[in-house]
Amino acid sequence: MKTLFKFLIILLFINYSCSNNEAGVDSVIDETSSQNSSEKKLKARQGLKPIGTGVMMQAFYWDVPAGGTWWEKVESKVQSWSDAGIDAIWLPPVSKAQNGAFSMGYDPFDYYDFGQYNQMGSVETRFGSKTELESLINKAHNAKLSVIADIVINHNSGGELEDNPYTGTPYYTDFNPKSGKFFRTNSDFHPNANCNSDSGVFGGFPDLSHCQPYVQDWLWKRSNSVAKYYKNVMGFDGWRFDYVKGFEPWVVREWKNAVGGFSVGEYWDGNASTLDWWSGEAQVSAFDFACYYRMRDAFQGNDLNKLKGDMLWKRNSRKAVTFVANHDTDEIYNGKLLAYAYILTHEGYPTIFYRDYEEWLSKTKLKNLIWIHNNLAGGSTSILHVDNDEYVARRNGHNNAGLVVYINNSNSWKERWIETNWSNTRIKDYTGNSNWQPVTQGGKWVKVQAPPKSYTVWSPK
C-alpha cells in the first residue's frame, strides 16, 4: 500500500508539472538528452584539423535559398571541402529570428530554437531544422572540420511591446521564447537601471545590455548558457562575433574565457591599428578589414603599390583572419583571383567565400592556392618588389621550404630577378601558370616570370 501511495503521488506531481509548466518539463527533457549527447559530441571533436593550419570556408552568402534546404546542401560539400584543405566552416546564425523562415539570422529572437519550435511564423529556420543542423555538424566533424557559429549578441528582435520605465515610452523588449530559455524584459536592454548604453546600437533593434548579470548568465556563465549549450550540446567549435563595435571587447573576452574555442570578431574598420587594439583587448582574432581595403584599392584601382599599406597581418599575423569577399561586402571585381593569390600565400588565417569557390571563380585554381597555402606558405614574409603592376614577396619557410609569389596585374608577361632562400636549387611554379624550372644561383638569385593579369608561386621542385 505504501508503494502504491508513493506511485500515485509521483503521478499527481508529473501531471501537475505538465499542465502548469510545459516549457519547464520540455527543458528538463532537453537538458537530460543534451547531457547524454555531450560525451559523443566531444569525442567526435577528437582528430579535428587544428584551426589555422588550413583555410576557413564561409559556408553561406546573403539570401541563400529559403525553404530549409541549406544545411543539407552544406552537408553534401563538407567532405570535398576537407579534401581540398579546408579546416573549418563558418555557418550563418543558426537560431530562430524575427523573420522566421525568411531570416538570415541576424535579427535573433530565440537562441535555443534551431528549427524545432513553431514561432516567428515557422518551425524551421531559413536553413533547415535542428535535426538537419545536428546532422551537418556531425558530418563536418567526421570530415575533421571544425564548425564556427555566427554569434549575434549586440541586438535582439521580435519581442512584444511593453512599457519601459527607463525611457517612459513602450518598446519591443518583452521576449518569451518557446524554448523556455533566456526570457528578456526591458531591464535586459539599454537603457536600464544599471547601464544607459554601451558602444552602439544597430538598426534600431533593442540593444542587449551586457552589463546586466542576468544577461551575462544566459549568454556565457550558466551551465546551459548560449555559449555552453552551443559548444557542449550542439557541438560548435568556435565563434564568429557579429558587429562587435556595438559592445565592449571584454564581452568577447569573457565568452572566450568561459568556453574556449577559436574566436574572431567582425570589427568593421580599415585602420590596422584599431583592429590590433580591439584584438588585443578582446584577446581573440579579428577579420583583417585593413587588408581587404588595401587589396580593393590595389586591384580595383590597378595600383599594387597600395599593398604596401598597413594591415593587421603585418602587425599581428596570429590574430588576422584575411578575406577577399564575404556576405556583407564584395567590392573586388577586378583581379579577385589575384587577391586570393595574395591572402593564400601571405600570413594570417585566410577565408574563402562560398560563392567564389562554388560558383564564380575557378575551383581548380582556388584548390591549387589552398594546397600552396597549406604546404608551402610558412614563416615570415619579406616583400621583394612592389610597383604599379607587379608585386613580389617571399615566405621564408617554417617546417617547409617557403615560397616566392609573383603577382602581375599588367597586360603583358613580366620577368624579374629576385633573391630567394635557396642556393643552387631548381625551382618550379606550383600554379602551372609558367613552365619555367630555373636553377637559383649560388647567391640565391633567380629570374622568375608571371603571365598577364595572373600570378606564379615558386618553390623548390
Summarised one tens digit per residue, pLDDT across range 47-98 is: 999 999 999 999 999 999 999 999 999 999 999 999 999 999 999 999 999 9
pLDDT tens digits, 369-393:
999 999 999 999 999 999 999 999 9
Q: What is the pLDDT of residue 36?
A: 60
Identify which of 198, 118, 87, 104 has the alpha carbon closest to the alpha carbon of residue 157. Answer: 104
Measured torsion, CA atoms of residues 422, 423, 424, 427, in degrees rounded to the nearest 10: 10
In 307-352, alpha helices (H): 312-315, 336-343
Residues of the chain with CATH 3.20.20.80: 39-378
Which residues, including other chains, have CB under 8 Å from residue 220's CB and lie 6 or more apart?
A: 226, 227, 228, 254, 255, 258, 259
This prediction has a pTM of: 0.91
For domain 39-378, give the CATH superfamily: Glycosidases (3.20.20.80)
Predicted local distance difference test score (pLDDT) of residue 42: 63
pLDDT for res 6: 39
Cβ atoms 354, 60 nearer than 8 A: yes
Clarify whether 242 is annotated catalytic.
yes
Cβ atoms of residues 187 and 212 within 8 Å: yes
Q: Which three cell numbers stand for residue 182?
A: 533566456
Residue 154 annotated in ligand binding = yes
Q: How high is the pLDDT of residue 38?
A: 62
Strands 320-323 and 285-287: parallel
State the CB neighbour count (10 A cutoff) for residue 378: 17
From 87, 242, 288, 356, the catalytic residue:
242
pLDDT tens for the chain, 461 residues long, are: 334 333 433 333 334 344 344 344 444 445 555 556 566 666 668 899 999 999 999 999 999 999 999 999 999 999 999 999 999 999 999 999 999 999 999 999 999 999 999 999 999 999 999 999 999 999 999 999 999 999 999 999 999 999 999 999 999 999 999 999 999 999 999 999 999 988 888 888 999 999 999 999 999 999 999 999 999 999 999 999 999 999 999 999 999 999 999 999 999 999 999 999 999 999 999 999 999 999 999 999 999 999 999 999 999 999 999 999 999 999 999 999 999 999 999 999 999 999 999 999 999 999 999 999 999 999 999 999 999 999 999 999 998 999 999 999 999 999 999 999 999 999 999 999 999 999 999 999 999 999 999 999 999 99
Nearest residue to 456 (alpha-carbon basis) of 345, 370, 308, 302:
345
Can you name the residues that pair with 448 across neighbouring β-strands? 416
Q: Annotated catalytic, 358? A: no
- Delimiting residues of CATH 2.60.40.1180 domain(s) in the chain: 382-460
Q: What pLDDT score does 87 carry?
A: 98
368 is in an annotated binding site: no
Exactly one of 87, 266, 297, 356 is catalytic; name it: 266
Distance CA 374, CA 87 (A): 10
Q: Which grid cell sits at 394?
A: 617571399
| The three cell numbers locating residue 303 | 595600383
φ, ψ at 256 (rounded to 5°): -60, -40
**Grid coordinates belonging to 42:** 566531444
CATH 3.90.650.10 fits 382-460, yes or no: no
